[in-house]
Amino acid sequence: MNVNTPENEQEPKTALNILESLLHDSGQKKINENQIIIILDAVANAEDAAVVARFPAVLAICARRGLSLNSQALFSRYWETSPKRQNLEKLLLVSAEIFNRQGLDPPKNLEKIAASLKTKYNDLPPTGELQLSSGLCIALQDLQNTLKGYSVAQLKSRPNRRKITPERTCTLEDCLGRLFSPKQKELVLKKRDGKTFTKTEREYYSRVVRKKLEAIANKEVMELANKLVRI
């Protein structure tokens, strides 16, 4: 159990200064998991609701940097009944739901941590306000807006981003040529045009080409492709 000293009493102020720089950073500043733990702790236990509302944005920084959340490091600073630990737990649980609602990738281990907390805080409201152990009330809409605002700002700040569509990237025949061998491409176009296959072509189309087309037409594959070409 840590005991406050003049040195670690400066942690919240220092952590919030670091957070401010990270929120406007393009990804060049280095930060490690230990620093993220300190920042999350400082934000969760700040006395200003506007600062606490930035909690999901800190988690978004974690996700963007590929940093994992270490539950032991997060919670071991306090007793299980500590109000500061409870603030962290509540905000992590609510943030996991917000990431899910907005369709954003959460930092590693957030979903696992949230799952372990659901029984303990099954009465947390899905909307309205979240009351922290300190008595401070945070509007859940503010938490959602902060995460959404940070995510949009980061997308706009990425250099040389442009939409890439299949029409701009290649013609139909060019795209087919990237996916199929010349013979397979020929069979795809023959099938499209309703031309008759020989027995050998029909067997090869059924055994090889059709399976490739089924994989390409898979909904999850298409969603993944659309997502990745925009990164």
Query: In tens digits, what is the pLDDT along the chain, a chain of 231 residues?
Result: 444 433 344 454 554 555 555 555 445 556 778 888 888 888 888 888 888 888 998 898 888 888 888 888 888 888 989 999 999 999 999 999 888 888 888 888 899 999 998 888 876 666 688 888 878 888 889 898 888 887 776 655 554 544 444 444 567 888 888 888 988 989 999 888 888 999 999 999 999 999 999 888 888 888 888 778 766
Instruction: Yes or no: say if 40 and 51 are a contact pair by the CB < 8 Å rule.
Output: no
> Do residues 26 and 133 share a domain?
yes
> Do residues 22 and 108 share a domain?
yes
Domain count, the chain: 2
Q: Is residue 3 part of a domain?
A: no
The count of C-alpha atoms lying within 13 angstroms of the C-alpha of 97, restricted to the half-sphere facing its C-beta, is: 17
| Helix or strand holding residue 24 (H, E) | none
Distance, in Å, from the CA atom of 224 to the CA atom of 115, rounded to the nearest integer, reads 26
Q: Is residue 207 part of a domain?
A: yes
Distance, in Å, from the CA atom of 18 to the CA atom of 175, rounded to the nearest integer, reads 46
> Do residues 16 and 129 share a domain?
yes
Residue where one domain finishes, among candidates 102, 122, 157: 157
Predicted pLDDT of residue 153: 67
Nearest 5°: CA angle at 213, between 212 and 219? 110
> Do residues 112 and 209 share a domain?
no
Q: Is residue 2 part of a domain?
A: no
> Do residues 106 and 181 share a domain?
no
Distance, in Å, from the CA atom of 11 to the CA atom of 187, rounded to the nearest integer, reads 66
Tokens of 181: 């061998």
Count Cβ atoms below 10 Å from residue 16 Cβ, excluding itself: 16
Domain interval for residue 91? 8-157
User: In sequence order, what are the beta bridge partners of 131?
Assistant: 137
